[in-house]
Amino acid sequence: MTSSRGPRIALVPSAASLLIIIPAWNEQETIADVIAEVRREIPLADVLVVNDGSKDRTVQIARASGATVLDLPINLGVGGAMRAGYKYALRTGYDRTVQLDADGQHAPAAVAALVFAPWAVRDWIVFGSPLPGQTLANALSVNPTDIFAYRDQPTVAHYLAQGPAALIGMRVTGIIHNLVDVLIVPGFPIGFVGLLALPNCARLHALRPLVLVAVITFLVTGLVFPVSTTWGTFLHSAGAIYVLLIVSCLVALDAFIAWVGRLRHWWRPVAWLGPALATAVVVPLMFVSVISLDRQADGTRARYEALPAALDRAGVPLASGAPIITDNPIWLAETAHVTALALPEESPQAVLALARHFGSKLLIVLQTDGEREWPGILTSGEPATQCFHEVPLTDESGRPPAAGSPLSQIRAFQIVCS
């Protein structure tokens, strides 16, 4: 909206932090395409078109394309238009702005690179890699616990040293895990029936994009991230695939019931029978699964709820302020309300270095049978094992925990070397 005093526009703060400013003067031929490309390449950014006194339909086209328009009453030139855009960004609370020409000579995709660049530099300085998250580390993992690595970070050399047989075996394991442990078992029998019917269901044009995404997700997680997928990579990205399998199962049931109807000469439509049958089968199994998971969670919670009192009885209070190293950091942190560090499956010397770096004085670990795993690795005899002194845990009666009790599977160690 304009007036004799100049441009006026409602200054409403935006949830976005990036504003794309496009000065425009008689750009009706290109402005729609530029805005569309910005929306496609930078979907989280807001778009402001600064109309610099255009005489054509630039304003109408920009607004119809979904951009905010700052309509200047006269032509101020590109410098004045940019200053108006920057003032708008400042008053509405944007953190960053990027200017693009309205004639299409600037590539919006380059803006995405500019936005990502500071984060890549930060990651490189802090974590030693410009890649976001643990993408490369997850692809090079040879053991699920590599995600907790401290000194022995996954490397290409270590990955290739496993040999062709091991690398192929990882992928077979990853594919089987994705298929059986993620798609079939948790959603049985819906997932099983949906998988069997998927080839026929994929013939439906409306489902083909989803089928394509499902296949790509399944193969990438199983072949590129074969180890980390066993700890949830595919599971966490399989929501849309579960929906696809449900639809595929219902389509198959509907076709089966229609076939039975033709054989039995049913004359009334029974489209509701497929969903009803699926619900009747799934709901009881769902309750069984939920109850089983609830019992497992109750057992784990009881274990970590009993731990603080047991450590107090041993004279080693849990809430000492320093982070606790543990193989179950989420449960310990949430239950005991302490800061926890993930225990890397590395040598006692490496864990001791981790403890020194963060000032940790206590290690909490579940009992395992492997001598090369924690806490069995402390019997290896290497010098660093002398720095881990076991804390004798007792129950409320002062006796060692009985077999099957919450504390029976937990071992605690003081880290005594500074």
Q: Give per-residue pLDDT as tens, 53-101.
A: 999 999 999 999 999 999 998 888 888 999 999 999 999 888 888 888 8
Residue 418 pLDDT level (bands cut at 50, 70, 90): low
CA gap 194, 241 in Å, rounded: 10
Mean pLDDT of the chain: 87
pLDDT above 80 for 7: no
The mean pLDDT value for 339-346 works out to: 93
pLDDT on residue 9: 44
Residue 15 pLDDT level (bands cut at 50, 70, 90): very low
Q: Which domains does the chain have, with CATH numbers?
A: 2-111 (3.90.550.10), 169-271 (no CATH), 300-415 (no CATH)
Q: Which of 97-111, 168-182, 391-405 has the highest mean pLDDT?
A: 168-182
Residue 196 carries which side chain, given as an amino acid letter? L
pLDDT on residue 393: 94
pLDDT on residue 144: 85
Residue 133 pLDDT level (bands cut at 50, 70, 90): low
pLDDT above 90 for 282: no
pLDDT on residue 204: 86
pLDDT on residue 220: 94
Q: Is the model more confident about 177 or about 148?
A: 177
pLDDT on residue 16: 57
Cα separations in angstroms, 87 against 2, 50, 82, 144: 16, 11, 9, 51
First to last CA, the chain: 69
pLDDT on residue 11: 44
- Beta carbons within 8 Å of 373's beta carbon, 6+ residues apart: 345
pLDDT on residue 2: 40
pLDDT above 60 for 375: yes
pLDDT above 60 for 5: no
CA gap 280, 117 in Å, rounded: 52
pLDDT on residue 132: 55
Alpha-carbon dihedral of residues 200, 207, 233, 334, nearest 10 degrees? -120
The mean pLDDT value for 24-47 works out to: 89
% pLDDT > 70, the chain: 93
The mean pLDDT value for 175-189 works out to: 93
pLDDT above 90 for 153: no
3-state DSSP assignment of residue 330 = helix
Residue 181 pLDDT level (bands cut at 50, 70, 90): very high
